[in-house]
């Protein structure tokens, strides 16, 4: 059941990106040209990939012990940070695409998909208890 929920939520994240991205790319192309539009597309694509992997890791680690959950949380954060930095470094070193457009597409879609991911995780699992529960209080 959990796998089906994660899969359907991942499809929702990808569908949201696929539905909104063509308009953003067309607007970027109209305003600044083809290279800017391609840069926005690459940034948004990276954000969509990271959102789906983040959702999958969060769902997998939810029912694990607190140390495992926190390790996945911190590791996922550091991993996303490394992938963001690597993406920017590769864009700068291997292409002549505008970096500002890549970063704008990356962060705009990252924020949008992060909001959708958090809402989906809250619907799937509710809130995670931080400490021992108190009964009868």
Model confidence pLDDT, tens digit, residues 69-93 = 889 889 988 998 999 899 889 988 9
Please, where are the H alpha helices in 33-134?
34-61, 66-94, 99-125
d(CA 93, CA 103): 15
Q: Is 21 within the bounds of a domain? A: yes
Q: What's the predicted TM-score (pTM) here?
A: 0.77
Of the candidates 21, 68, 72, the residue with the CA atom closest to the CA atom of residue 44 = 21
Flag whether 134 is in a domain.
Answer: no
**C-alpha span between 89 and 84 (Å, rounded):** 9
The total of structural domains in the chain comes to: 1
pLDDT at 82: 93
Query: Is 131 part of a structural domain of the chain?
Result: no
- Rounded mean pLDDT of 37-53? 89
Q: Is residue 129 part of a domain?
A: no
On whether the CB atoms of residues 106 and 51 are closer than 8 A, the answer is: no
**Domain enclosing residue 39, as ranges:** 2-124
CA–CA separation, 132 and 115 (whole Å): 28
């Amino acid at each position: 059941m959990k796998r089906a929920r994660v899969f359907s939520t991942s499809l929702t994240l990808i569908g949201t990106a696929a539905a909104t991205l063509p308009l953003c790319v067309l607007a970027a192309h109209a305003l600044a040209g083809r290279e800017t539009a391609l840069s926005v597309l690459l940034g948004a694509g990276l954000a969509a990939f990271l959102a789906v992997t983040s959702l999958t890791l969060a769902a997998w680690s939810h029912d694990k012990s607190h140390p495992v959950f926190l390790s996945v949380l911190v590791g996922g954060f550091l991993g996303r940070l490394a992938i963001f930095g690597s993406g920017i470094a590769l864009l700068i070193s291997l292409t002549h695409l505008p970096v500002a457009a890549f970063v704008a597409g990356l962060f705009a879609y990252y924020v949008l998909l992060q909001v959708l991911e958090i809402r989906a995780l809250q619907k799937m699992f509710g809130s995670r208890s931080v400490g021992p529960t108190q009964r009868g209080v």
